[in-house]
Amino acid sequence: MYERVLHDLARVNRWTFTAWPSMAFLDRAVGSAKRFRLLDVGFGDGDILRAIARWARRRGIDAQLAGVDLNEKSLNAARNATPRELAIDYRIGDYLDQPERFDFIISSQVAHHMTDAQLMTFLHHMEANARIGWFICDLHRHGFAHWGYPLLARLLRVHRIVREDGQLSIARSFRPGEWRDLVEQAGIAPDHVRIIRRFAFRLCVERVRATPLNP
């Protein structure tokens, strides 16, 4: 059942273009570089990493992609859904325990699951350890999204857990002003961070350092 829930979430993500903000961020941050290393925190069934892998291949970029997730069941779900040629390194564990540094650290649909303390730790970690930049794509707490999501979920015939958890997740997510407060609380200069609304009802927080990757 867990794998079905993850794959249904990935299906919702496809219909709501959830991977697009991550690729728009990388398109701007990577520039003319031909290689980078990226860690996705909370990879689920790996749909965002697969989209990034295909995006990089189309551009001739050597993208070394890894994902880490706390739930052991995510490992099989992601591996089963990922063609071997994409060569994505899926790991089980805590992002804090990863031994290497990455050019980019990203997460999608994860931040609203964190407590305030966990989110502060995550922001601090990304700011200290992402060599080039970091990116959070999360839900936008918005009335239309909150009441419209159950209709979309029923049209897609996703699992009941996905229907019910999705609306709860929207209610737990943030608005732009709240993200600005969180960034300031983390001690990150507001002018170093962009908070962007993306279709459909996604709120993204991104940081790109002044020094781009070298080709």
Please give the pLDDT value at position 202: 84
Q: Are 193 and 204 in contact (CB under 8 A)?
A: no
40 assigned to some structural domain? yes
- For residues 175-184, average pLDDT: 95
In the prediction, which pLDDT does 31 show? 87
User: What does 5-61 look like in DSSP terms, one character per residue?
Assistant: HHHHHHHHHHHTTTHHHHHHHHHHHHTT-SEEEEEEES-TTSHHHHHHHHHHHHTT-
* pLDDT, tens digit (0-9, with 9 covering 90-100), for 117-169: 999 999 999 999 999 999 999 986 665 455 545 655 566 565 565 555 666 67
Give the model's pLDDT for residue 146. Answer: 52
Segment 201-214 shows an average pLDDT of: 78
Phi, psi for 166 (deg, rounded to 5): -60, -45
Angle between helices 2-15 and 143-156 (to 10 degrees): 120
Place of tokens 């697009």: 20
- What's residue 110's pLDDT? 93
Residue 135's H or E segment, with its range, is strand 130-139
Average pLDDT in the chain: 85
Task: Confirm whether 164 is domain-assigned.
Answer: no
Query: What whole-number distance in Å separates Cα of residue 32 and Cα of residue 214?
Result: 8
* pLDDT for residue 32: 87
> Looking at residue 134, what is its pLDDT?
98
**Percent of the residues in the chain that have a pLDDT greater than 90, as a whole number:** 64
| Averaged pLDDT, 92-109 | 96
* Total-model pTM: 0.86
Q: Is residue 156 part of a domain?
A: no
CATH number for the domain including 122?
3.40.50.150
Between 152 and 24, the higher pLDDT residue: 24
Domain count, the chain: 1
Give 92-134 as a DSSP string: ES-GGG--S-EEEEEEES-GGGS-HHHHHHHHHHHHHHEEEEE
Separation CA 129–CA 56 (nearest Å): 22
DSSP 64: E
Indicate the pLDDT class of residue 199, thresholds 50, 70 and 90.
Answer: confident
Given a cut of 50, whether residue 172 has pLDDT beyond it is: yes
Range of the domain at 64: 2-139+174-208
Let me know if residue 160 belongs to a domain. no
Judge whether 187 lies within some domain: yes
pLDDT of 159 reads 57
Residue 153 in any domain: the answer is: no
pLDDT, position 10: 59
pLDDT for residue 215: 44
User: What CA–CA distance (Å, rounded) separates 200 from 215?
Assistant: 33
In a domain, 31, yes or no: yes
pLDDT of residue 198: 85
3-state secondary structure of 157: coil
Distance linking the first and last C-alpha atoms of the chain: 44
CA trace torsion 138, 132, 85, 74 (10° rounding)? -40
Mean pLDDT across 36-48? 95
- The answer to whether residue 151 sits within a structural domain is no
Banded pLDDT at 212 (limits 50, 70, 90) = low
